[in-house]
């Protein structure tokens, strides 16, 4: 049985200006959306929590297909409310070579800004956003806890690149 997303959670629609953020990655380095956009498009993948099977599977898909998700004009980042030390241990154990960003404090502010925070549970739903170099959301989708993104979701997000 899947749990539906929080009623209040509504992902930002395509065509919206992506909210700027600056978060710390698993190595405690600051990463901002604007700096990522200097390279090109940015795929932002919100996930609920580290060390969970569905999240490991989804981020494992990115890891196993990294050339599709990280090239000269695309950067993929994953975002969770977990703290950087947790993300460091988890990403090292799983071999994730892409940034895992911490939306820990203020708790869930970036997920909230993108409309994917589940306020009742205190973590993000599985939001997927493709942000173009000019800062517009080109792809937007969300599934709730217990639901995994499908291959079709990944394909559609990557195909939305202009």
List pLDDT tens digits, range 49-91.
999 888 999 999 999 999 999 999 999 999 999 999 999 999 9
Which residue in 114, 162, 122 sits closest to 140, CA to CA?
114
Options 3.40.30.10, 2.160.10.10, 3.40.50.12780, 3.30.230.10; CATH for 22-159 is 3.40.30.10
Residues 6+ apart with CB under 8 A from 53: none
By DSSP bridging, strand 100-102 and strand 74-80 are parallel
Do 149 and 155 meet the contact criterion of CB atoms below 8 Å apart? no
Which residue in 98, 126, 99, 100 sits closest to 111, CA to CA?
126
Q: Which of 3-17, 64-78, 104-118 has the lowest mean pLDDT?
A: 3-17
- What is the structure's pLDDT at 1? 38
Phi, psi of 119, deg, nearest 5: -60, -30
Residue 55 bears catalytic tag: yes
Give the rounded percent of residues in the chain with a pLDDT score beyond 90. 88
- What is the structure's pLDDT at 6? 44
- What is the structure's pLDDT at 5? 46
Phi, psi of 139, deg, nearest 5: -145, 140
**Which of 31, 55, 59, 142 is labelled catalytic?**
55
CA dist 66 and 60 (Å) reads 9
Do 83 and 89 meet the contact criterion of CB atoms below 8 Å apart? no
pTM over 0.85: yes
The secondary structure of residue 144, as a DSSP letter, is -
Kindly list the domain boundaries of the chain, sorted by start residue. 22-159
């Amino acid at each position: 049985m899947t749990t539906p997303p929080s009623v209040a959670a509504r992902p930002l629609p395509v065509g919206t200006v992506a909210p700027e953020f600056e978060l710390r990655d698993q190595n405690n380095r600051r990463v901002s959306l604007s700096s990522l956009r200097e390279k090109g498009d940015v795929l932002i993948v919100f996930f609920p929590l580290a060390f969970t099977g569905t999240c490991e599977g989804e981020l494992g898909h990115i890891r196993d297909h990294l050339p599709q998700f990280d090239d000269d004009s695309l950067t993929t980042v994953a975002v969770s409310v977990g703290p950087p030390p947790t993300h460091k241990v988890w990403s090292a154990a799983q071999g994730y070579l892409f940034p895992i960003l911490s939306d820990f404090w203020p708790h869930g502010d970036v997920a909230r800004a993108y409309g994917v925070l589940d306020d009742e549970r205190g973590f993000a739903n599985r939001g997927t956003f493709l942000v173009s170099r000019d800062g517009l959301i080109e792809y937007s989708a969300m599934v709730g806890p217990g639901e995994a993104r499908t291959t079709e979701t990944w394909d559609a997000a990557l195909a939305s690149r202009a």
